[in-house]
Amino acid sequence: MTISTKEAFKLLGVNSIKELKREILSDYVNAIRGRYISDLTYSEMKRGNAAFAISADGKELPQVVVSRFMKDGDYFTGYYRDSVVALVKGVATVEDFFYNHYNYPYEGKDPHSAGRQMVGHYATRMLDDDRQWISQSNALNYISNVSPTSGHMPRALGLAWASIYYHAMKEKMPLNATKFSNGDEITFATIGDASCAEGLFLESANVIAAHQLP
């Protein structure tokens, strides 16, 4: 199958060759940056400066590619190796990675959990400083990573099922329900090889396929 340059630009979300080159370079920089972060965190652990290290070694490029398909309103629920997704989508800065790595116990330094969670757990906020819901329908919703293998799959199932529910009931929902769904969101879930043998994964995949959840 062949497509025109205009169609290719639309598919890639760019308007010119110059913009395409800039986006390719940005992807390359993010992949390399992710690898350097991995190397440094393991090095710091071996020196005794950190208790634990986990990284996206070898998964940088797939994570960059997956990130390209995420749109505002989508939900992402993964596991502890998704640092490059967090980097590409602006969920975590390089500084955030290392504050998280050292379990820095201050919200301003580790905005994801203020040192309360395991290394590699990132998340976007759903409540503002006044404890009011932040609109989830026009931003990427990075749901906090999970440590137990496959433990996040039932949650991915629930998020995708909620999208179906909101879409089917949108005319009966209160007006503020649009904060939680734009009717077109997708739930992304990443998983490792070992997790694919877990019952939680198999059962969730079965329901997702049976109900054609997004």
Output the pTM of the full model: 0.85
Q: Which pLDDT score is estimated for 161?
A: 92
Q: Which of 89, 64, 78 is nearest to 120 (CA)?
A: 78
- Give the three-state DSSP class for 196: helix
**pLDDT tens per residue across span 99-116:** 888 877 776 777 788 878
Q: Which pLDDT score is estimated for 145?
A: 84
Q: Give dist(CA 30, CA 84) in Å, integer.
A: 7
**Could you tell me the two tokens for 164?**
């179906």
Task: List Cβ neighbours of 171 (8 Å cut-off, separation of 6 or more).
Answer: none
**pLDDT tens per residue across span 90-101:** 888 888 888 888
Q: Quickly count: other Cβ atoms within 10 Å of residue 9's Cβ.
A: 16
Tell me which long-range contacts 106-115 makes (C-beta under 8 A, separation of at least 24).
112/144, 113/144
Secondary structure of 157-188 as H, E, C letters:
HHHHHHHHHHHHHCCCCCHHHHHCCCCCCCEE
Cβ–Cβ under 8 Å, residues 152 and 68:
no
Q: Quickly count: other Cβ atoms within 10 Å of residue 169's Cβ.
A: 11
Q: Give dist(CA 96, CA 119) in Å, integer.
A: 11
Q: Which amino acid is at 154?
A: P
Write out the H or E segment, with its range, that includes residue 145.
strand 141-146
Segments of the chain with pLDDT less than 70:
1, 107, 170-171, 173-177
Q: Give dist(CA 132, CA 66) in Å, integer.
A: 30
Q: Which of 190, 169, 78 is nearest to 124 (CA)?
A: 78
203 CB-contact burial (10 Å; exposed 0-12 / middle 13-18 / buried 19+): middle
What phi and psi, each to the nearest 5 degrees, are found at residue 32?
-65, -40
